[in-house]
Amino acid sequence: MRLTLDHVILRAADPAAALSELSERAAAPILVPAHDAGAFVSGIVRAGAIDIEVLAIGASPPAQTQGYGLGFTADVPIRTAAAELRGAGYATSVPTGATANGRAWSAVQIHGLLPDPFPAPVSRRVPGALDRATESVARALGRVPAIAKAATRKPGASMVVVTEYAFDAGAWRAAVGPGPDVYSVELGTAGHDWSRVPIEPGPLLLRPDGPPGVRRITFEGDAESFRLGAVEFEFSSAA
């Protein structure tokens, strides 16, 4: 199994404002305007091969925009990915489905990679009947907005997920254009062990020291660098 970086997750008090500023200053097209899904508000800009999602989640918004986490896709079905990650020693959730504007996807939470992860129930056990039952319950409860919102009141300080799309994500993204290429995504791991995560070579740079979370994204180009809260955005004309 190999995991490919698919999206970066920023957490903000006002996703619409942060998304607008990010889109304008990075010349990145908006893939999804900030949308209230009940349990969270989310918007997405497109940057080369990567989406940058700006998310409002939790009862208490952050004082500034945070580099909340990362999303990956796998070259195997999502349940196989979860089983392999558990086999490597990482606790994962069961796949949890979501829908928005006619699009559907499933995501698995991974714990042990960043501090204070989103508090989803996780396990290192080999997936079995209990996981399938838990997945069915989570899918049913997720359809009830009040329950879904209550489950996200305390979002923790980080999120790392593997996502499986149930629609043609490539065609959906191509409709808005690629935006600027991303040279690097710098992530502070706070000393957490990523050595057993099978990540495909790409823009992700893991830093064991310094503050945790997404700290810096470097785009192709010569525009002026800027900052959104705790996250720096830079430009480079060198590959």
User: The tokens of 52 are what?
Assistant: 């940058």
d(CA 151, CA 35): 19
- pTM score of the predicted model: 0.89
Reported as half-sphere exposure (CB side, CA atoms, 13 A), residue 230 has a value of 22
CB 229 within 8 A of CB 65: yes
> What is the structure's pLDDT at 142?
42
CB 73 within 8 A of CB 164: yes
Overall size of the chain counted in residues: 239
> What is the structure's pLDDT at 151?
52
Residue 213 phi/psi, 5° resolution?
95, 180
Tens-place pLDDT, residues 85-131: 999 999 999 998 888 778 899 999 999 999 999 999 999 998 764 55
What is the enclosing helix (H) or strand (E) of 216? strand 213-220
Which 8-state DSSP code applies to residue 24?
A: H
User: In CATH, which superfamily holds the domain spanning 3-179?
Assistant: 2,3-Dihydroxybiphenyl 1,2-Dioxygenase, domain 1 (3.10.180.10)
CB 66 within 8 A of CB 10: yes
> What is the structure's pLDDT at 159?
96
User: The tokens of 165 are what?
Assistant: 């799309």
CB 57 within 8 A of CB 40: yes
If phi > 0 it is left, if psi is from -120 to 50 it is alpha, else beta; for residue 138 that is: alpha
Tens-place pLDDT, residues 4-25: 999 999 999 999 999 999 999 9
d(CA 92, CA 221): 37
CA proximity to 135, closest of 159, 168, 109, 101: 109
First-to-last CA distance in the chain?
Answer: 28
- For 30, residues 6+ apart whose C-beta sits below 8 A from its C-beta are 19, 23, 43, 44, 45, 46, 176
> What is the structure's pLDDT at 131?
55
Tens-place pLDDT, residues 15-52: 999 999 999 999 999 999 998 877 789 999 999 999 99
Q: Domain spans of the chain?
A: 3-179
Lowest mean pLDDT among 19-28, 65-74, 126-135, 201-210: 126-135
Report the chain's mean pLDDT, rounded to a whole number.
Answer: 89
> What is the structure's pLDDT at 237?
85
